[in-house]
Amino acid sequence: MMWADLIQKSKDGGLDIIETYIFWDLHEPVQGQYDFSGRKDLVKFVKLVGEAGLYVHLRIGPYVCAEWNYGGFPLWLHFVPGIKFRTDNKPFKEEMQRFTAYIVDLMKKNNLYGSQGGPIILSQIENEYGNIDSAYGSAAKSYIKWAANMAVSLDTGVPWVMCQQADAPDPIINTCNGFYCDQFTPNSNQKPKLWTENWSGWFSAFGSPIPYRPVEDLAFAVARFYQRGGTMQNYYMYHGGTNFDHTSGGPFITTTYDYDAPIDEYGIVRQPKWGHLKDVHKAIKLCEAALVATDPVYSSLGPNLEATMYKTDSGLCAAFLANVGTQSDATVKFNGNSYQLPAWSVSILPDCKNVVLNTAKINSMAMLPKFIPQSVKYNLDSSGDIASTWSWFREPVGISKTKTLVKPGLLEQINTTADKSDYLWYSSSIIIKYGESLLQNGSQTVLHVESLGHGLHAFINGKLIATRFAPTGNHKISVDIPATLNPGKNTVDLLSLTVGLANYGAFYELAGAGVTGPVSLRSSNGGLTLDLSSQPWTYQIGLKGEDLDLSSGSSSLWDSSSFPKNQPLTWYKTLFDAPDGNDPLALDFTGMGKGEAWVNGQSIGRYWPALSSPDSGCTDYCNYKGPYKSNKCLKKCGKPSQELYHVPRSWVKPSGNVLVVFEEIGGDPTKISFTTKQVGSICSHVSESHPPPVDMWNTDQTGKKSVPTLSLECPSSNQVISSIKFVSFGTPQGSCGSYAHGTCRSLQAQKIVQKACVGARSCNIGVSVATFGDPCIGVKKSLAVEAICG
């Protein structure tokens, strides 16, 4: 369980409150049957946060979005008679109230609300409904009023919020979600200005590049929010984690939900994002006494230049200076002093005089993570062939289970499967007589299939003739497939599949999937067309291997002979010993196609390394200046969206672990490898114009002036800095891992930094000519260092 470590790293990063959603589908997978076991133990999580000295914001929803399967709603909800989601509908309101009240009562029984001395100080009802409420007409207003009254009636003793709901009824607090919320104003001056989701990055999808958000921009957004009267802001995400099992929604949301968050998917702090935000939090808290004592006073310092001062008669004073321009740095005058303001940055002055931090100037070190391939011990036979350690099971094509459904016409998939499986077989047959135009010489038979998505494998007489996916757009599939028919009976087997259910938008629960037709056979020369859509079809929910519980690895049906590679619809199993150590663990699925994997019976999620993102749209450098949007900064163009899949250490034993893989389109499981995530280099690049580290701030600024300082620290307590890979004091260029000397450099820098840092876990070096001498008089200089820990 990673919770305690993640909570501590959040606290160390300067957070005060942890927000968490409540996932209805996890906690009530069957109507009336609740589950709070294991990693679903909500009470334990809230208590751990409280024990760490932090508060909790409980976002009950119970609609959560979160790129989570079906927006967090359980699928059984879809089948409640007469139900319509998220509107003034009696069956929906009854179920929503019942679950919300159950969660509130559970928290009360454990004395977890702030009114009971517990850590929960805020709760949320509904979620981003204001983004889509116009689609529901007048029923939206009555529904929101009902939801507000229902929540308040539960008497938690702490405030309730609604995010993105400008008309949230009193006393519900309406809050903001977005990349920037400094311009947001609550719907009453009696309500605090709250930012429930500051998007630290963005989610990723199979077949798309990976978004990331520069920390300079994220820090700018945070500082601007507090500059303009903000009360509380929350990072969405501070840690995103992993969509294990079938929890990813979308459709086509990746298994990783890393989100470019300050704490990455594996629980490692992402530097410099985590560290720079920690400094921003410290800087804002240095202003806290003034911020809560008075209202801000705004003044213009010029075009795109703004000063905000919080000043009391008792002598408290804090100020924020902002340059919201995207092009030019500026020099401004404030309170009789001169300040340099880089474009798209905020300087924070806890005493209205001295700058403790500028959001564009990063003092925190950077870390370059790396995945290290690990040798895995297999029980090889005398041949020494890794394939000998694998066994397999061929998933039958078409109907293979006794429990089936026969219906005339084509059925929508989600209504048929209730999402019990990603897969639904559609099977039918046709008799072709000798001499029919579909078999005439010179005529090619074409199978036409239309599907609502998300994927399709088509078979004629047991032979795969096409595979199609629709990861973009409306996810619909329309395909014409050359097919070979035989005289007599011919079978048509269509395996339809979902890749996570829709989670956002008005009426998203009505978004269908599966082969809804038409399905037809026609001759390519314009002859006979046979419409198969309305004839009898046999349906099988899920795979034979799912019914046999192959994912546990315990079945007796595994075959160890004639090992097949690169075959579709194949299950594979092997045993492995866990790599040594405690570093976070991942499986590298390079060489595989698409499917799902289980470790010791627990699903690590869907994998899909065979699907690459488009070649264009990524850049080597992303300019943080100017408004951010989700497609501004992208990486991994032309590459698989995800090759590496997190396996929590708590899921594996030292030896005898079972890995099961269901490969859908064909791959080579012997190429699956284990890696561990470690920190490679640590780096820092600090200029003479940087403010000193926030930790050096002293309320008495009349004494000796602190100088900018470059700080390095190995991430693990048992490591020391073993070598210095790069040093330059002068005009170095580039970024961590690719620094280069500029035209000006100090020849003493290498020796000075090595002496200060090598052999120590951490070191601090003053960035000034007093330390290194002046290699180029009159030129602005900086110090860049890359070091290795060992």
What percent of the chain clears pLDDT 90, i.e. is strictly above it? 93
Q: Which of the four pLDDT bands, split at 50, 70 and 90, describes residue 375?
A: confident
Look at residue 202 and tell me whether its pLDDT is greater than 80: yes
- What is the widest separation between alpha-carbon atoms in the chain? 102
Q: What is the pLDDT of residue 562?
A: 87
Q: What is the pLDDT of residue 706?
A: 84
Q: What is the pLDDT of residue 444?
A: 81
Q: What is the pLDDT of residue 379?
A: 63
Structure tokens given for 438: 């579909």
What residues does 373 pair with on adjacent strands?
Answer: 675
What percent of the chain clears pLDDT 70, i.e. is strictly above it? 97
What does the pLDDT look like over 429-484, one tens digit per residue?
A: 999 886 666 666 556 899 999 999 999 999 999 999 999 999 988 999 999 999 99
Query: Are the C-beta atoms of 234 and 161 separated by less than 8 Å?
Result: no
User: Can you give the three-state secondary structure of 482-504, one letter per residue?
Assistant: EECCCCEEEEEEEEEECCCCECC
Catalytic position from the list 19, 128, 265, 663: 128
Q: What is the pLDDT of residue 702?
A: 47
Look at residue 271 and tell me whether its pLDDT is greater than 50: yes
- Per-residue pLDDT, averaged over 27-54, amounts to 98
Catalytic position from the list 19, 67, 126, 197: 197
Q: What is the pLDDT of residue 52?
A: 98
- Residue 504 φ/ψ, nearest 5 degrees: -150, 150
What does the pLDDT look like over 593-642, one tens digit per residue?
A: 999 999 999 999 999 999 999 999 998 899 999 999 999 999 999 999 99
Quote the Cα angle for 164-169-171, to 5°.
105
Active site residue 306: no
Query: Are the C-beta atoms of 152 and 145 separated by less than 8 Å?
Result: no
What residues does 634 pair with on adjacent strands?
Answer: 211
What does the pLDDT look like over 685-743, one tens digit per residue?
A: 999 999 999 999 975 554 457 899 999 999 999 999 999 999 999 999 999 999 999 99
Q: How far apart are CA 50 and CA 753, in angstroms?
A: 42
Query: Are the C-beta atoms of 746 and 688 separated by less than 8 Å?
Result: no
Cis status of the peptide bond prior to 237, with omega within 30 of 0: yes
What does the pLDDT look like over 147-179, one tens digit per residue?
A: 999 999 999 999 999 999 999 999 999 999 999
Structure tokens given for 520: 């037809």
Q: What is the pLDDT of residue 703?
A: 45
- The pTM of this model reads 0.96
According to DSSP, residue 139 is labeled: H
Cα 104 vs. chain centroid, distance in angstroms? 27
Query: Are the C-beta atoms of 76 and 30 separated by less than 8 Å?
Result: yes
Is residue 408 exposed (0-12), middle (13-18) or buried (19+ Cβ within 10 Å)? Answer: exposed
Query: Are the C-beta atoms of 282 and 694 separated by less than 8 Å?
Result: yes
Q: How far apart are CA 650 and CA 467, in angstroms?
A: 37
Both ends of the chain: CA-CA distance in Å?
Answer: 27
Three-state secondary-structure class, residue 770: helix
Helix axes 90-109, 138-153, angle to 10 degrees: 20
What does the pLDDT look like over 530-546, one tens digit per residue?
A: 999 999 999 999 999 99
According to DSSP, residue 412 is labeled: P
- Per-residue pLDDT, averaged over 114-139, amounts to 98
- Per-residue pLDDT, averaged over 345-362, amounts to 98
- Per-residue pLDDT, averaged over 17-41, amounts to 98
Active site residue 197: yes
Q: How far apart are CA 607 and CA 737, in angstroms?
A: 29
Q: Which of the four pLDDT bands, split at 50, 70 and 90, describes residue 673?
A: very high
Three-state secondary-structure class, residue 414: helix
Structure tokens given for 314: 């008792």
What residues does 372 pair with on adjacent strands?
Answer: 676
Q: What is the pLDDT of residue 523?
A: 85
